[in-house]
A and B are shown apart, each in its own frame.
Chain A
Amino acid sequence: MPETDRRPASNLPPLSLHIPEPRYRPGDTPDFGDIVVPAVDATSRPSEATKPDAMRDLCYGLVRVLDFDGEAKGQWDPKLSPERLRTMLRYMMLVRAFDDRMFRAQRQGKTSFYMKCTGEEATSVASTMALDRGDMCFPSYRQQGILIARDYPLIQMMNQIYSNRGDHLMGRQLPIMYSAPEHGFFSVSGNLATQYPQAVGWAMASASKGDSRIATVWCGEGSSAEGDFHSALTFATVYNAPVIFNVVNNQWAISSFSGFAGGERTTFAARAVGYGIAGLRIDGNDPLAVYAATQWAADRARTNNGPTLIEHFTYRSEGHSTSDDPTAYRPAEEPTIWPFGDPIARLRQHLETLGEWDGERHEAQRVELEELVKTTQKQSEKLGILGHGMHQPFETMFQDVFEDMPWHLQEQCAQMLAEQEAKFGPDWKPE
Chain B
Amino acid sequence: MSTDTQTANKTMNMIEAINSAMDVMLERDSNVVVMGEDVGFFGGVFRATAGLQKKHGKTRVFDTPINECGIIGVAVGMGAYGLRPVPEIQFADYIYPGLDQLVSEAARLRYRSAADFICPMTVRTPFGGGIFGGQTHSQSPESIMTHICGVKTVIPSNPYDAKGLLIAAIEDNDPVVFLEPKRIYNGPFSGYYDRPVEPWSKHAASAVPEGHYRIELGKAATVREGEALTVLAYGTMVHVVKTIVEELKVDAEIIDLRTLLPLDIDAIEASVKKTGRCLVIHEATRTSGFGAELAALVQERCFYHLEAPVERVTGFDTPYPHSLEWAYFPGPVRIATALTKILKD
Which residues of chain A have a CB within 8 Å of any CB of chain B?
A: 136, 138, 168-170, 172-173, 177, 179-181, 186-187, 189, 191, 194, 196-206, 208-209, 215, 227-228, 231-232, 234-235, 238, 400-403, 406-408
| A402/B73 contact (C-beta < 8 A), A168-B114, A172-B114 known | no
Residues of A contacting B109 in the complex (Cβ-Cβ under 8 angstroms): 187
Check if B67 sits within 8 Å of A194, measured CB to CB.
Answer: no
Q: Output the residue of A168, A170, A403 with the most chain B CB within 10 A.
A: A403
- Of chain B, the residue at the smallest CB distance from A234 is B65
The one of A181, A215, A403 that contacts B116, using a Cβ cutoff of 8 Å: A181
Q: Give the complex CA separation of A181 and B112 in angstroms.
A: 13
B319 interface contact, C-beta 8 A: no
B237 interface contact, C-beta 8 A: no
Residues of A contacting B100 in the complex (Cβ-Cβ under 8 angstroms): 191, 194, 228
**Per-residue 0/1 for B71-97: is the Cβ within 8 Å of any A Cβ (1 yes, 0 no)?**
011111111111101000000000001
| A198/B218 contact (C-beta < 8 A), A177-B112, A408-B263 known | no
Check if B78 sits within 8 Å of A204, measured CB to CB.
Answer: yes
Q: Give the complex CA separation of A204 and B59 in angstroms.
A: 9
Q: How many A-B residue pairs have CB under 8 A?
A: 142
Check if A231 sits within 8 Å of B110, measured CB to CB.
Answer: no
| A400/B114 contact (C-beta < 8 A), A205-B77, A208-B59, A408-B262 known | yes
Tell me the minimal C-beta distance from B168 to chain A in angstroms: 13
Check if A179 sits within 8 Å of B113, measured CB to CB.
Answer: yes
Q: Give the complex CA separation of A285 and B51 in angstroms.
A: 52
**Per-residue 0/1 for B154-178: is the Cβ within 8 Å of any A Cβ (1 yes, 0 no)?**
0000000000000000001110000
The one of B76, B117, B173 that contacts A201, using a Cβ cutoff of 8 Å: B76
B205 interface contact, C-beta 8 A: no
- Of chain B, the residue at the smallest CB distance from A196 is B73
Tell me the minimal C-beta distance from A9 to chain B in angstroms: 38
Q: Give the complex CA separation of A186 and B73 in angstroms.
A: 14
Check if A194 sits within 8 Å of B81, measured CB to CB.
Answer: no
B8 interface contact, C-beta 8 A: no
The one of A186, A205, A209, A228 that contacts B117, using a Cβ cutoff of 8 Å: A186
The one of A172, A180, A199, A200 that contacts B111, using a Cβ cutoff of 8 Å: A172
Given known contacts A231-B65, A235-B70, what 10 new A-B pairs fall within 8 Å (CB)? Answer: A138-B77, A181-B113, A189-B112, A201-B79, A401-B150, A402-B152, A403-B172, A403-B173, A407-B265, A408-B263
The one of A198, A205, A402 that contacts B150, using a Cβ cutoff of 8 Å: A402
B64 interface contact, C-beta 8 A: yes
The one of B70, B81, B111 that contacts A205, using a Cβ cutoff of 8 Å: B81
Q: Give the complex CA separation of A47 and B37 in angstroms.
A: 35
The one of A180, A199, A400, A407 that contacts B77, using a Cβ cutoff of 8 Å: A199
B104 interface contact, C-beta 8 A: yes
B253-282 interface (Cβ within 8 A of A): 261-263, 265
B101 interface contact, C-beta 8 A: yes
Check if A205 sits within 8 Å of B105, measured CB to CB.
Answer: no
- Of chain A, the residue at the smallest CB distance from B151 is A402
The one of A187, A200, A231, A406 that contacts B218, using a Cβ cutoff of 8 Å: A406
Q: Give the complex CA separation of A406 and B151 in angstroms.
A: 12
